[in-house]
Amino acid sequence: MNTATLLISCPDRKGLSAAIANFLYTYNANIVHVDQHQDNSENLFLMRVEWDLTDFTLDMEAFTPAFQPIADRFQMQWSVALSAERPKMAIFVSKYDHCLVDLLYRHKSGELHCDIPLIISNHEDCRALAEFYGIAYHVIPVGKDNKAEAEAAQKALLEAHGIDLIVLARYMQVLSHQFTAAYPQRVINIHHSFLPAFDGAKPYHRAFARGVKLIGATSHYVTEVLDDGPIIEQDVIRISHRDDVEELIRKGRDLEKMVLARAVKWHLEHRVLVYSNKTVIFA
């Protein structure tokens, strides 16, 4: 189905839903999915509406000037996306390949609506996977003495390929504030813990030492504060006192790839709205 998706956030007030629906109806839109949420604590209205473009009489190139008066009246922050457009996604990876394998398989099977023109790594380990799927693989070593130069090389590749989304598939390097600021809400990470518990390094080891009964994984947008960006998806699994650290890591990897895949899919389908360092997911 050829569709358009409108994401909206604005101060909550009467008439919002009616104004949006009436605007779309004016141009013969067939709405196929609509969802909304009111955050009463912040007096905020959030909405996702998707409609079939088959009989839509407004040229999408004219959508912005036509819709802007309504947006101005209700003080909306908004964006519109077309299903016919395929975002370009880059994957960053280090040595652990489980999340990369899962994402590449889901992409090949058609589950992820995007193109993947390149994979960037600081190690050679995953090159064979990239070659199997016919994706360019770029190794950019990163050390404490060349971090700025490495990020400049990474950004040059991203800009050359017109990348819309960056996915950190267990990329074991901390990105600088300058890097993340260039891609707001366009860098998705998978952290191997149920944040905010056990942020930072070696969370499975710390969880084992603490004797927890549940371990988790968290996918979130990357910000300048480590492991503190808006959370997109989380999941947990029960563990036993019989599980050692290696077993926690094995069980956790299954969670990591599923949680990351959901977050990436929802982002690509324009189902995520961010506000106040948290998200609404119109899943």
Residues that are catalytic: 227
Residues in Cβ contact with 53 at an 8 Å cutoff, skipping those fewer than 6 apart: 2, 3, 4, 60, 82
Helix and strand element counts for the chain (H, E): 8, 13
Integer Cα distance of 283 and 70 in angstroms: 26
Q: Are 241 and 88 in contact (CB under 8 A)?
A: no
Q: Residues 82, 6: contact at Cβ < 8 Å?
A: no
Three-state SS at 195 = coil
* Nearest-angstrom CA–CA distance, 61 and 84: 14
Bin 176: left if φ > 0, else alpha if -120 < ψ < 50, else beta: beta
- Identify the burial level of 159 via C-beta atoms within 10 angstroms of its C-beta, where 0-12 means exposed, 13-18 middle and 19 or more buried: exposed
User: For residue 158, what are its two tokens?
Assistant: 């991203």
Q: In what order do the strands lie in the sheet with 77-82?
A: 30-39, 44-52, 3-11, 77-82
16 near 10, Cβ under 8 Å? yes
